[in-house]
Amino acid sequence: MIIADRKPVGELLEMVKDCNRILILGCKGCVTVCNVGGTKEVGVLASILKIARKKEGRPLQVDEKTIERQCDPEYIAQVKDMVGQYDAVISMACGVGPQFLSEAYPDQRFFPAVNTTSFGGAVSHGIWAERCAGCGTCLIHHFDGMCPIARCSKSLLHGPCGGSAKGKCEISKEVDCIWDMIVKKKMEKGRLEDLTKMKPNKDWRTARDGGPRKSVREELVQ
Amino acid sequence: MSDLKSGSNLEKVLRAGHFALTGECGPPKGANLEHLKEKFSHLKGVVDAVNVTDNQTAVVRMSSWAASAVMIQNGVEPNFQMVCRDRNRLAMQSDILGAYAMGVRNMLCLSGDHQTFGNHPQAKNVYDIDSMQLISLVKKMRDEGKFLNDEDIDVPPKMFIGAASNPFADPFEFRVYRLAMKIAAGADFIQTQCIYNMEKFRAFMKMAVDMGLHEKAYILAGITPMKSVGMAQYMAKSVPGMDVPESLIKRLRGAGKGKVAEEGIQFAIEQIQEFKEMKGIAGIHLMAIEWEHKVPEIAERAGLLPRPKV
Amino acid sequence: MRLSYPSNVKVIQVPCTGRVDIIHLLKAVEDGADAVYVAGCMEGECHFLVGNLKAKKRVQYVKKVLQELGIEPERVEMFNLSAGEGPRFAEIAREMVDRAKALGPSPVKMKKAA
């Protein structure tokens, strides 16, 4: 899913500093799964903002609502009658949410409550890690189910580099060297030969480098 | 001598069967030509070619190709380094043509330390292609006379292609395969990461020789003399992919105050003597970083002077 | 035991401190509490195994939030004691009341318009 982290409270207070009534809109999709923008977190953020503003002597009215997702017009439409009643709306969804809302309701201001980071999954309770960089040309079948574009700090296709030490990436001991893992798995499975063949240069056109992407299902388009 | 690939001094020295010696020089953190000239002046006539680093450890310095051009103007042969971290394939091909036009004939293709190490960690990561693909790119430009997109090049760059090898990174068993790949991709010469763990290096070279790699490319052993116990400890702990045995640190400590640098040089000279006889080693790459003025002395004491005139 | 503890401590009973969530602590602060504390079982003795450890983490989270907002993190606290320790319960109550007095009224109390 899409992983995000909540922006620092100071930054959010700055965003709403000229507001008296706001709505915090949560999302039951990815941000609920990574515990940053679901119903619970909306409640927590509402309380935090109210506390901060009470302390300043400028109380803030904060309403709360969580919708199914913020990446489909049908769900965005559900808040049609609400959004106009506030000075601004904070969306706790990933970067898609505030943009879809802004497009649907151009007269309202929508602020992002989270910093969206990557595509990934839960590696243990409370910890989510990046797995996919959205390069548009998936190659993980060449690397025994691991992606060096997303998980190698240098996106090498012929790693590991000379900085790989004890299974860790040179940038930090907290980062595993994915190439160490790929090589070890290939050796274990007797497929080392796969790595000795030159890989063609990556075509970055399918990645964000080629410009914003669009996916079309011809069979569904009306 | 059959057709030379680039005609560089380094290539001719190696082709003629001499034991080569290369040095290293980091460009200044500015446009200070005097400082640059002063640095490489120690190496003139003392080594066969001088590596010119490319924003090494992701710290911004004068560009490698510019410093290389200055070297050529002053009668020193550069080993132009290019890392994959800072430029995409357009800029790479463009810089290779520019460097060649300025007289550069040796080129080293490297991945480059990640920008988090350097003084501009906020920068965007490029890594459009990796070092393996860069080697292949330079070979294509030189031997096919074509750009990556197969268009013809108007006077192709004839570079002597180099690559780096780190026998001390992990996983150890794979390092020699990676070296083989770089040679298959087009590397004519290899410079290794600086060596301190001689036992491990001997094991690595045995694998390389068994695979016949020394017959396909010239392998130069990397040496960096230790200046102090602090330096040895720092490299042991804080530089990824560096292997500094405890025995060496003990030896340096045992030398006594004021005598550690000399002990470090002694160790380097012993290494050079062993490498002269080691099967598969075609020369030495001496990286006396910020200690360039010591290179003539070390080269002399190791019996590497005078350098051959080819 | 009929031990007395200060009357300005409002006790909210829960089956396990694991039931206490971040929002409950924040709401207490939001509504003007000068201090709020969680009293759970001794670590390792939670009847529900790790409820008190979850509570501890949540208290730490709220402390961090308060710090970010410029409110004294000491206004929120976690204590561990066993169910039979009546005197300790009273002692903790007195400690927190003294602490709240020393810190002064919560900066979140609604400021009266001038």
Position A186 pLDDT exceeds 90: yes
Residues A85 and A145 in one domain: no
Q: Domain of residue B14: give its range.
A: 9-301
Residue A212 lies in a domain: no
B81, B132, B170, best to mutate vs chain A, most A CBs in 10 Å: B170
Q: Report pLDDT digits (tens) over A56-107.
A: 999 999 999 999 999 999 999 999 999 999 999 999 999 999 999 999 999 9
Q: Report pLDDT digits (tens) over B64-106.
A: 999 999 999 999 999 999 999 999 999 999 999 999 999 999 9
C-alpha span between B197 and B185 (Å, rounded): 28
Subunits that touch chain A (at least 3 Cβ pairs < 8 angstroms)?
Answer: B, C
Q: Report pLDDT digits (tens) over B173-201.
A: 999 999 999 999 999 999 999 999 999 99
Q: Taking the domains of chain C in order of start, what are their residue ranges? A: 17-84
Position B1 pLDDT exceeds 90: no
Position B28 pLDDT exceeds 90: yes
User: Which helix (H) or strand (E) covers residue A100, if one does?
Assistant: helix A96-104
pLDDT of residue C44: 93
Which of B133, B129, B143, B205 has the alpha carbon at shortest distance from B163? B133
Please return the burial class of A213, using the count of CB atoms within 10 Å of its CB with bins 0-12, 13-18 and 19+.
exposed
Q: Domain of residue A151: give its range.
A: 134-198
Average pLDDT taken over every residue of chain A: 96
User: Which two tokens mark C89?
Assistant: 């319960």
Asked if C114 is an interface residue toward chain A (Cβ–Cβ < 8 A), one would say no
Structure confidence at residue B2 as a pLDDT band (50, 70, 90)? low
CB contact under 8 A, B241 and A204: no
Residues of chain B with pLDDT > 90: what percent?
92
Q: B269 vs chain A: nearest CA distance in angstroms?
A: 25
A36, A50, A51, best to mutate vs chain C, most C CBs in 10 Å: A51
Please return the burial class of C34, using the count of CB atoms within 10 Å of its CB with bins 0-12, 13-18 and 19+.
buried
Residues B281 and B221: beta-carbon distance below 8 Å? yes
Q: What is the CATH number of the domain that holds A101?
A: 3.40.50.2300
Q: What is the mean pLDDT of residues B55-72?
A: 96
Kindly report the pTM of this predicted structure: 0.92
Please return the burial class of B261, using the count of CB atoms within 10 Å of its CB with bins 0-12, 13-18 and 19+.
middle
Closest-approach residue (CA) in chain A for B170: A165
Subunits that touch chain B (at least 3 Cβ pairs < 8 angstroms)?
Answer: A
Q: Report pLDDT digits (tens) over A153-184.
A: 999 999 999 999 899 999 999 999 999 999 99
Q: A32 vs chain C: nearest CA distance in angstroms?
A: 16
pLDDT of residue C7: 86
How many CB pairs below 8 A link A and B?
A: 99
Residue B4 lies in a domain: no
HEC profile for chain B?
A: CCCCCCCCHHHHHHHCCCCEEEEEECCCCCCCHHHHHHHHHCCCCCCCEEEECCCHHHCCCCCHHHHHHHHHHCCCCEEEEEECCCCCHHHHHHHHHHHHHCCCCEEEEECCCCHHHCCCCCCCCCCCCCHHHHHHHHHHHHHHCECCCCCECCCCCCCEEEEEECCCCCCHHHHHHHHHHHHHHCCCEEEEEECCCHHHHHHHHHHHHHCCHHHCCEEEEEECCCCCHHHHHHHHHHCCCCCCCHHHHHHHHHCCCCCHHHHHHHHHHHHHHHHHHCCCEEEEEECCCCCHHHHHHHHHHCCCCCCCCC
Q: Which residues pair with A25 in a beta bridge?
A: A65, A91
Asked if A52 is an interface residue toward chain C (Cβ–Cβ < 8 A), one would say yes
Q: Report pLDDT digits (tens) over B135-164.
A: 999 999 999 999 999 999 999 999 999 999
Count the domains in chain B.
1
Residue B77 lies in a domain: yes
Question: Per residue of chain C (114 residues), what is the pLDDT tens digit?
Answer: 677 888 889 999 999 999 999 999 999 999 999 999 999 999 999 989 999 999 999 999 999 999 999 999 999 999 999 988 989 999 999 999 999 999 999 999 866 544
Residue B24 lies in a domain: yes
Q: Do chains C and A touch (3 or more CB pairs under 8 A)?
A: yes
Residues A102 and A26 in one domain: yes
Count the domains in chain A.
2
3 state SS of C46: strand
pLDDT of residue B88: 97
Nearest to A167 among B116, B170, B174 (CB): B170
Residue B308 lies in a domain: no
pLDDT of residue C111: 63
Residue A9 lies in a domain: yes
Q: Report pLDDT digits (tens) over B209-256.
A: 999 999 999 999 999 999 999 999 999 998 888 999 999 999 999 999
Please return the burial class of B152, using the count of CB atoms within 10 Å of its CB with bins 0-12, 13-18 and 19+.
exposed
Q: Report pLDDT digits (tens) over A115-141.
A: 999 999 999 999 999 999 999 999 999
Structure confidence at residue B290 as a pLDDT band (50, 70, 90)? confident
C-alpha span between B258 and B261 (Å, rounded): 7
Q: What is the CATH number of the domain that holds B119?
A: 3.20.20.220
Residues A108 and A165 in one domain: no
